[in-house]
Structure 1
Amino acid sequence: MLRALPPSCGPVRLVAVDGHAGSGKTTFAAALAGELGGVPVLHLDDLASHDAFFDWTQRLTDQVLTPLAHGRTARYAPYDWHRAAFPREPGATKTLPPAPVVLIEGVGAGRRALRPWLACVLWVDMAARDAWRRGRERDGEDLAEFWERWTGAETAHFAEDPSHSSANYLVRQGELGFQVRTGPAGDR
């Protein structure tokens, strides 16, 4: 279904995997990338930072979207969450080729500013409180303070720029793995 979509970013079909932190976006994106033959995945955690959880749109546009739109390989410096800094060393960049399908996963991947570049939005459908509980269990007590800051920022982000209602497909994780069905935007 995704390969049949028209290109949305130059020659690329850019597919967003959005949802609450802890909902399973990274796991789903990895499974989907594998099902699609190993397509590239951009993790928005590489562009966000401790100081700017959601202030990465310009960096994404400059370092990733513009090169892909011109059929060129994107190069970006991934944020180091342990050092709380972007790398300064030469060669500390990641590359993202202009493949026919590229996945972009992370909270806010389906945001309003990115939708003109996107072929479709997949929303990993899980209640925020359940997703956040899973994320806290995954990350442990060492990151409890981070999660307090994060949940407030994520709540504010989705209040201002909800992407769930723009999703073409909803993804749910169950006993049999992930199930995908048409989402709110796909019903129009």
Structure 2
Amino acid sequence: MSSARSRSDADPVAQALAGAVALTRDAVRSIAAANPVILIDGRSGAGKTTFARELIASWPLRGRVQSVALDALYPGWDGLAEGVRVAEEAVLRPHARGLIGIWQRWDWDRGVYAEAHAVDPSLPLIVEGSGLLTAGTAPLGDIRIWLESPARTRRQRALERDGDTYRPHWDRWAQQEERHLSEDVPAQLATHVFAIP
């Protein structure tokens, strides 16, 4: 066995995400549902996509879990609220009623809706994205996650991830997130709040 520290031991963000994922797995087990719905919200760069990916990789129940990222639903740089509305109406409400949900991917390069995707109501569902926790969506999630992270490190991670594509739109998107924080107070709608450095 190597005595070298693993990457997650040296990386406080990876450590925080791993701890949050472990607690969420315990919560998934405790609700004893075959098709639980997990909602993951947080500002840009907070770690939502990584959190969702790690939760899927270590999913505690038998069978497959499906996921929807709001990045595929937002209709452009001014579309935070509209993407959340589409997630609620086309994905979450049908899932709650036992119906197949259908959503279309937004093609960011062409600025149009593209192919359609189905969501199976019999399977567990993870939905992640900025703006997700609202008074309308919260009752549709069994486990509701809010990731809290400082602005400086969030911005650094987001711009390292998306670079010059995102840089000119950072402030524009942040204003929509601020409106979400003010109007929806997502941390108060969460069942779990995790601090990510």
* TM-score, normalisation: structure 2: 0.74
Aligned-pair CA distance for 1:22: 0.8
Point out where structure 2 has 5 or more consecutive residues left out of the alignment. 1-26
Q: 1:52 to 1:76 in 2, by over 3 A?
A: same
The reply to whether residue 43 of structure 1 matches residue 69 of structure 2 is: yes
User: Identity, % of aligned pairs?
Assistant: 28
Partner residue of 1:144?
167
Deviations 1:11-44 (A, max 9, x none): 7421111111111100110110121164111111
**Distance in 1, Cα, partners of 2:123 & 2:47:** 24
Contact map agreement 2:74 2:84 (CA 8 A) in 1: no
Q: Which moved more, 1:61-70 or 1:104-113?
A: 61-70
Deviation at 1:140, TM superposition (A): 1.3
List alignment gaps of at least 5 residues for structure 1: 175-188
C-alpha RMSD of matched pairs (Å) = 2.2
Name which of structure 1's ranges 15-24 and 137-146 shifts more when overlaid on structure 2.
137-146
Count residues with an aligned counterpart: 167
Hey, what's the Cα distance between the residues in 2 that align with 1:158 and 1:83?
30
Match of 1:4 in 2: 30
Could you say what secondary structure the match of 1:55 adopts?
A: helix
**Pairwise mapping of residues 152-167 of structure 1 onto structure 2 (< 5 A)?**
152-167=175-190
State the alpha-carbon separation in 2 of the partners of residues 167 and 5 from structure 1: 15
* Farther-moved stretch of structure 1 (31-40 vs 114-123): 31-40
User: Hey, what's the Cα distance between the residues in 2 that align with 1:150 and 1:161?
Assistant: 16
Higher helix share: 2
Alignment match, 1:75: 102
Q: 2 CA distance for matches of 1:158 and 1:170?
A: 14
Q: 3-state SS of the aligned residue for 2:81?
A: coil
CA distance in 2, matches of 1:141, 1:61: 30
So what's the TM-score if we normalise by structure 1? 0.78
